[in-house]
Amino acid sequence: ITEEHTGVNIIIYMRVSSKIEPFYKGGKVQISQDEQYIFCTCGPRVNILQIDTGKIIHSIEQDDQEDITSFSLSPDDEILVTASRALLLKQWDWKQEKCTRSWRAIHNVPVASMTFDCTSTLLATGGCDGTIKLWDVVKQYCTHNLKGSSGVVHLVEFHPDISRLQLFSSSVDCGIRIWDLRTSKCICVLESHYSAVTSLAFSPDGQTLISSGRDKICSVWDLKKKAVKRTVPVYEAVEGVVVLPGKSDYSQMGVKGEGLHFVTAGSKGVLRVWDSSSARCVFTQTLPDAPALNTEEADLDPYWACFSLLMKFVGYNDDILDVKFLGKDDTHIVVATNSSQLKVFELATNSCQILYGHTDTILSIDVFRKGSMFASCAKDKSLRLWKMDLKSGHVHCVAQGSGHSNAVGSVACSRLKKGFLVSGSQDCTIKMWDLPDPLPDVGCEPVLMTARLTERAHDKDVNSVTISPNDKLLASGSQDRTAKLWSLADMSLLGIFRGHSRGVWCVQFSPVDQVLATASADGSIKIWSIQEFSCLRTFEGHDASVLKVIFVSRGTQLVSSGSDGLVKLWTIKTNECVKTFDAHQDKVWALHGSSKDDLMVTGSADSTITLWKECEMKQSKLCFVLHVIHAIINDGIQELEKTLLKLRQDQKESVLRFSVVWNTNSRSCLDAQAVLQVLLTHLSPEEILQYQGTRTHLEGLIPYTERHMQRIGRLLQASMFLDYMWQKMVLPGGPRLPWDLLSSRLETCGKFSPGR
């Protein structure tokens, strides 16, 4: 089939460009010795993050899907060992994502901690059964079994001087045990902490130990005397401690002299440098827009300085409620999650900036036209205005406003000029806010905004507000099942759009035509004339609520997202869904298109943010072959078998590839399934696996086929009600009607047709 015969039909569609997925939900984090990778756990996986790009380059996953309880990377960066709830230890060549060895941990319960010695040959594992085992990973046998700890051994650490052959451990009794590996005996228990010991760090000469705990103290130990030299009150639960290496200049952090200094990281979210000899904090890291610290440590004399933050990665985002492109060339995205903080991601590196200000869950975001300013609203009944420094990428709050009596669920920014905002609330009102002029500089307190107009707009919650491209009209959508059109000049009501059977979740103006799109909980999308307030188009295809809708391809197509986890691309002219994307596992709350109309971003309750890139696809062959297949099927399945089995291998491969695309659309899925039935019935697995990309094609078929089966199952279940009703129908004073007589009488009444 040639393009001369069919013509070329160019279809614009989206493909996944990148994702920001959950990669860390708590637990151990380790950085490779070459400082290029971060290793962290996430359920049954150890994820390896490349620091420069912020991308997950490897994911080591347990075959049995059991959660990983502990892991350790050898100092030479060659060996990774993991422990799971299945009581197995696995040794990995992590660069190849290949398990090289697996053995029983001998522990009776899961392994809680592990570490390598400096030679990368000895591995220590601490178990929840109170025992510690040492393993020779080269000769592959257990060398020691150390008993005597109380409860879970959550911390093990070798002394850096291998000639000492000492191992340090801590368990639930809060003591630090020192083990002599020559005799397998505990030679001392260091007692100072009253809560769990979280980290150990050794001085460069190996004579001093720093221990940290959740009891808000750090202890400095003399390992010769095995006694506390000094107790340092740090006024926060400390999770990690590191000794500053010697022979370096740390004067910018207030370090004076050659004494031992160490860094703590704890519950306040900042790094602090301490002088071990004086027990004083000499440096406290300052973070932009961070909440103010509770300075209860009045006796400290901190040296405040600028600390350069290189990267910040967010391992878990919770539910994604809204997301918008940000920056002059859409270089960033701003994300509202199920929290009171906003997150701004740099797309090139996935580095994140966290914005503080709201005190409750942020529900909606909108961005001004040039992308350097945006507004947010939240359950705390307020909205805030934010501005990005285009050179540094730093974002700060410049204004805030309050006045609603309930949660603010939607906000919209003016399109032509940065002049005003509109907010919609669960108090059923809409407010218009003027922006302050001039805006405050960086570092200044946000100015207060006051509402210029307030209008009671709906009978129930206002779910969505949007402003027309010319800044003259406002549309609102509500739980009262209506959308309304307003004049922004005086907030007068121009008309009401009625037709949805459930609440309206989203309203959106077309960028080119005088129409409005609405998305509803009734599973449909409607396009309305804003002059006649009549419905021009109705799009149906989602199995649940449609949460967001946007115009793309210069107003010729729609993209919608729903509670069914699907993203759908619609062509307005033909009124059909041309592509369905199954990239999320839960409700897709967030959807936004870039300023150049070539990128799209979606966010879901599955904590995943997906970036989509616009592509062009020639569908001449695809559509033509579908029509041919449909015509053959009308002549019978036997004709389809004869036709397909006569094709060459490359032609069968093309038909299989086309079927994967047809299967994504409910209108063409039956044709796709008929083709698949023939190919999978008459071709052997060996023959099918010879086709290029077979595995990818078959994996792409599974989720959509399951959805089709679920839809058919629901239809069959619903039809059972009709069957039951027919069986129970009895004429007054007469016998039960047979089916053929009943259907004929219904046809006569004009209320029934056999096709339905």
For 407-430, write each residue's pLDDT tens digit: 999 999 999 887 899 999 999 999
Say what the pLDDT of residue 305 is. 45
- pLDDT at residue 11 is higher than 80: no
- pLDDT at residue 747 is higher than 80: no
- Give mean pLDDT, residues 78-82: 95
* pLDDT level of residue 738 (50, 70, 90 thresholds): low
Options 3.40.605.10, 3.40.309.10, 2.130.10.10, 3.30.365.10; which CATH number does 408-615 get? 2.130.10.10
Report the residue count for the chain. Answer: 756
Closest CA to 594 of 613, 580, 607, 581: 613
- pLDDT at residue 737 is higher than 60: no
Say what the pLDDT of residue 509 is. 97
Residue 727 CA: distances (Å) to CA of 693, 717, 740, 745, 746: 51, 16, 12, 15, 15
* pLDDT level of residue 481 (50, 70, 90 thresholds): very high
The amino acid at 290: A
Share of the chain above pLDDT 70, in %: 91
Instruction: Name, of 370-374, 610-614, 707-711, the range with top average pLDDT.
Output: 610-614
From start to end of 338-428, where are the E strands? Answer: 342-346, 352-355, 362-367, 373-378, 382-388, 395-402, 408-413, 420-425
* pLDDT level of residue 358 (50, 70, 90 thresholds): very high
Say what the pLDDT of residue 728 is. 75
User: Could you give the CA distance from residue 189 to residue 470 in angstroms, rounded to a whole number?
Assistant: 74
Say what the pLDDT of residue 692 is. 75
For CA atoms 713, 719, 721, 723, give the dihedral sign. negative
- pLDDT at residue 1 is higher than 70: no
Radius of gyration of the chain (CA): 32
Say what the pLDDT of residue 306 is. 45
Residue 47, C-beta contacts closer than 8 angstroms, at least 6 positions apart: 23, 24, 39, 40, 41, 56, 58, 59, 60
Say what the pLDDT of residue 754 is. 43
- What tokens appear for 509 in the block? 């103006």
Say what the pLDDT of residue 741 is. 53
Closest CA to 316 of 49, 29, 20: 20
- pLDDT at residue 653 is higher than 80: yes
From start to end of 21-79, where are the E strands? Answer: 29-31, 37-42, 45-50, 55-61, 68-73
Say what the pLDDT of residue 743 is. 53
- pLDDT at residue 752 is higher than 50: no
Number of helices (H), then strands (E), belonging to the chain: the values are 8, 53
User: Could you give the CA distance from residue 441 to residue 18 in angstroms, rounded to a whole number?
Assistant: 35
Question: Reading across the β-sheet that carries 176-180, which strands appear in turn?
Answer: 153-158, 166-171, 176-180, 185-190
- Give mean pLDDT, residues 313-324: 94
Look at 31-35, 288-292, 442-446, 458-462 and tell me which has the smallest mean pLDDT: 288-292
Q: What share of the chain is helix, strand, coil (3-state, %, to 5)?
A: 15, 45, 40
Say what the pLDDT of residue 256 is. 79
* pLDDT level of residue 12 (50, 70, 90 thresholds): low
Residues 595-607 have pLDDT tens digits of 888 899 999 999 9
- Give mean pLDDT, residues 421-443: 91
The amino acid at 427: D
The amino acid at 687: E
408-413/420-425 β-pairing: antiparallel
- pLDDT at residue 745 is higher than 70: no
- pLDDT at residue 496 is higher than 60: yes
Sequence spans of domains, the chain = 18-246, 408-615, 619-718
User: What are the beta bridge partners of residue 571?
Assistant: 557, 576
Assigned superfamily of 18-246 = YVTN repeat-like/Quinoprotein amine dehydrogenase (2.130.10.10)
- Give mean pLDDT, residues 324-332: 91
Residue 754 CA: distances (Å) to CA of 83, 701, 739, 743, 745: 63, 33, 11, 8, 12
Say what the pLDDT of residue 736 is. 52
* pLDDT level of residue 397 (50, 70, 90 thresholds): very high
Instruction: Name, of 374-388, 574-588, 628-642, 691-705, the range with top average pLDDT.
Output: 374-388
* pLDDT level of residue 135 (50, 70, 90 thresholds): very high
Say what the pLDDT of residue 729 is. 72
Cα–Cα–Cα angle for 274, 277, 280, rounded to 5 degrees: 40
- What tokens appear for 436 in the block? 């302050």
Residues 523-569 have pLDDT tens digits of 999 999 999 999 999 999 998 999 999 999 889 999 999 999 999 99
* pLDDT level of residue 442 (50, 70, 90 thresholds): confident
Helix axes 669-682, 637-645, angle to 10 degrees: 60
Say what the pLDDT of residue 309 is. 77
- pLDDT at residue 2 is higher than 70: no
DSSP symbols for 1-19:
--HHHH---EEEEEEEEEE
Residue 389 CA: distances (Å) to CA of 313, 392, 440, 441: 20, 6, 13, 11
> Is pTM beyond 0.95 here?
no
What average pLDDT does the chain have? 87
- Give mean pLDDT, residues 652-680: 85
- What tokens appear for 716 in the block? 């069959």
DSSP helix/strand/coil, 454: strand
The amino acid at 317: N
